[in-house]
Amino acid sequence: MSENRPGVTARAPAKVNLLLQVGPLRDDGFHDLVTVFQAVSLHEDVTATPADTWGITVEGAGGTDVSGVPLDGRNLALRAARLLAERAGVEEPVHLHVRKEVPVAGGMAGGSADAAAALVACDALWQLRTGLDGLAALGADLGSDVPFGLHGRTAVGTGRGEQLVPVLTRGAFHWVFVLDDTGLSTPRVFAECDRQRGPGWTGPGADGRLEAVEAALRDGDPRALAAALSNDLADAACALAPQLTRTLDAGRAAGALGAVVSGSGPTVALLAESATAARDVAAVLAPVVGEGRLRTASGPAVGARVLEAVA
């Protein structure tokens, strides 16, 4: 029987890719990436509670549709908890309850945030004191975006995106996210990118995009950052979901400084001058795309952390 003691709730942020450079297809089926992640103030909360058997429940917050979230061994949060237990020699099952604010399959790493929050919650529940680096190493075994969910803030990711270096960032940046009902699988978007490039594509070489993003972040300059936003997967995502091109155009017409497909899509990220400007952009877009498809947020946000013990 499980002990009668409180559970632990941890929170982890969504991410937006300010830059996503995708290298040629490797022999192992992956691509070398250079990306700049920024954590934003849309969150996933995961509560881990001692239980007799492993299990998970999920609820949507703020209208988030969770109908496509698996509730079995495919769920990344449950996999994270079981991996930590296996590596630490813990034999106590937990029940996880996930409160999702991040769009599902939206290119904002909501599943990875679930895994990051589950690692932090279970580490605290079991009093393991694994440390951030140890949890990030486990996270990298689960998915390329999980380590960033643990670290948060702003970072350059290389390799598959899991090798992180923090980026100096001054001030806050304000975003409007436009959600889309189209589910785009990440492998499918990468495959379309490879198809568009054709066989033998070797990459553009050094092009200064990373340096431009880093300079804008260092200066806290939203206009410079808007000009530097870039995603090598955008053309592939728009080819698979052509309405994204219209959303990008509508966002710019609504007053956004810049617009970019987030990760592999289909969420579109719009950068605004200020928090007030972000609300104004959302207000202009609401009659066009529907108010329920809009989220405003700011970044950088902190990484996964414990919120509270839950009786």
Q: Which residues are catalytic?
A: 15, 145
Is 104 one of the annotated binding-site residues?
A: yes
User: Is the model's pLDDT at 135 over the cut of 80?
Assistant: yes
Of 144 and 131, more confident: 131
Question: What pLDDT sits at residue 26?
Answer: 86
What is the arithmetic mean of pLDDT over 126-132? Answer: 96
- pLDDT band for position 78 (50/70/90)? very high
Q: Are residues 177 and 291 in the same domain?
A: yes
Residue 4 pLDDT: 66
Q: Which DSSP string do the residues of the chain spell out, in sequence order?
A: ---S--EEEEEEEEEEEEEEEEEEEPTTS-EEEEEEEEEEEEEEEEEEEE-SS-EEEEEESTT---TT---STT-HHHHHHHHHHHHHT----EEEEEEE-SPTTSSS-HHHHHHHHHHHHHHHHTT----HHHHHHHHHHH-TTHHHHHHBSEEEEEETTTEEEE----S-EEEEEE--S----HHHHHHHHHHHH-TT-------SHHHHHHHHHHHT-HHHHHHH-EETTHHHHHHHSTHHHHHHHHHHHTT-SEEEE-TTSS-EEEEESSHHHHHHHHHHHHHHH-GGGEEEEEE--B--EEEEEE-
Identify the weakest region by mean pLDDT among 87-101, 152-166, 216-230: 152-166
Least confident span in 26-35, 94-103, 243-252? 26-35
Shared domain for 231 and 103, answered yes or no, is: no
Does residue 305 lie in a domain region? Answer: no
- 143/22 same-domain check: yes
Where residue 184 falls among pLDDT bands split at 50, 70, 90? confident
Residue 207 pLDDT: 85
**Where in the sequence is the domain holding 289, given as residue range(s)?**
173-299
Same domain, 117 and 182: no
Annotated ligand binding at 23? The verdict is: no
Ligand-binding annotation for 107, yes or no, is yes
Is the per-residue pLDDT at 1 higher than 60? no
208 and 227 share a domain?
yes
Q: Per-residue pLDDT averaged across 263-273, rounded?
A: 94
Per the annotation, does 111 bind a ligand?
A: yes
103 labeled binding residue: yes
pLDDT of residue 229: 98
Residue 307 lies in a domain: no
* 288 belongs to an annotated ligand binding site: no
113 is in an annotated binding site: yes
Least confident of 77-81, 198-202, 217-221: 198-202
Q: By mean pLDDT, which of 31-45, 62-76, 237-251 is the weakest?
A: 62-76
* Domain end marker among 149, 167, 185: 167
Say yes or no: 103 and 128 in one domain: yes
Instruction: Read off the pLDDT band of 279 (50, 70, 90).
Output: very high
**Domain tally, the chain:** 2
Domain identity same for 156 and 218: no
pLDDT at 3 over 60: no
304 has pLDDT over 70:
yes
Indicate whether 244 belongs to any domain.
yes
